[in-house]
């Protein structure tokens, strides 16, 4: 009769506990970290939805355009949240970044609009914004305001 070699298998129970318990613990900790970010995400999401609703009504967007517009607004809110800390620590950099966010958002919004009526309304809105900015610039220059004050005031005049 032929005998086969036997293999002895030893199971280290303590090590097995770590293999099962550690991943579960990691998932719980990750879930808790996400829960802390939830209020900020909810506020950002609400602001994006509100802005999207306004733009859907203004430009009479279809469902696909509305979805794209929501994505644009979420990105805008995320970018604004990222630069918020610069508002007090480095105002010049904040204004520069804010201008970039606004210009990027406007380019994206213009890219979503595809009917003549939508584009015409967009151009009309941007024309009004430019006129308001020109008037504000003249007003502040008469008051001999600083360049920083003028730039900050012009950035507040914004419409999509």
Predicted confidence (pLDDT) per residue in 6-50, tens digit: 656 555 656 555 566 556 656 666 655 554 555 567 888 899 999
pLDDT in tens, 123-138: 999 999 999 999 999 9
Give a yes or no: residue 89 inside a domain: yes
pLDDT at res. 86: 94
**pLDDT band at residue 160 using 50, 70 and 90 as cut-offs:** confident
pLDDT at res. 1: 60
Give a yes or no: residue 131 inside a domain: yes
Give a yes or no: residue 120 inside a domain: yes
Give a yes or no: residue 54 inside a domain: yes
pLDDT at 122 over 60: yes
Distance (Å, rounded) from C-alpha 125 to C-alpha 76?
A: 19
Residue 62, domain extent = 38-156
Place of tokens 């802390």: 36
Tokens, residue 74: 């979420």
pLDDT at 142 over 80: yes
pLDDT in tens, 47-76: 999 999 999 999 999 999 999 999 999 999
Give a yes or no: residue 106 inside a domain: yes
Give a yes or no: residue 20 inside a domain: no
Task: Please tell me the total count of domains within the chain.
Answer: 1
For residue 48, how far is the Cα from the chain centroid?
Answer: 8
């Amino acid at each position: 009769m032929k005998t086969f070699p036997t293999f002895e298998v030893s199971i280290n129970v303590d090590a097995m506990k770590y293999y099962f318990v550690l991943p579960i613990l990691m998932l719980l900790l990750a879930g808790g970290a996400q829960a802390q970010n939830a209020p900020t995400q909810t506020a950002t999401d609400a602001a994006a939805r509100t802005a999207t609703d306004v733009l859907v009504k203004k430009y009479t967007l279809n469902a696909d355009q509305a979805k794209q517009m929501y994505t644009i607004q979420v990105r805008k809110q995320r970018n604004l949240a990222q630069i918020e800390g610069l508002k007090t620590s480095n105002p010049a950099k904040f204004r520069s970044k804010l201008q970039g966010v606004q210009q990027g958002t406007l380019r994206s919004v213009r890219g979503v609009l595809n009917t003549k009526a939508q584009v015409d309304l967009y151009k009309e809105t941007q024309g009004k914004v430019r006129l308001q900015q020109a008037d504000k610039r003249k007003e502040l220059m008469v008051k001999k305001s600083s360049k920083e004050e003028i730039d900050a005031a012009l950035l507040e005049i914004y419409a999509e």
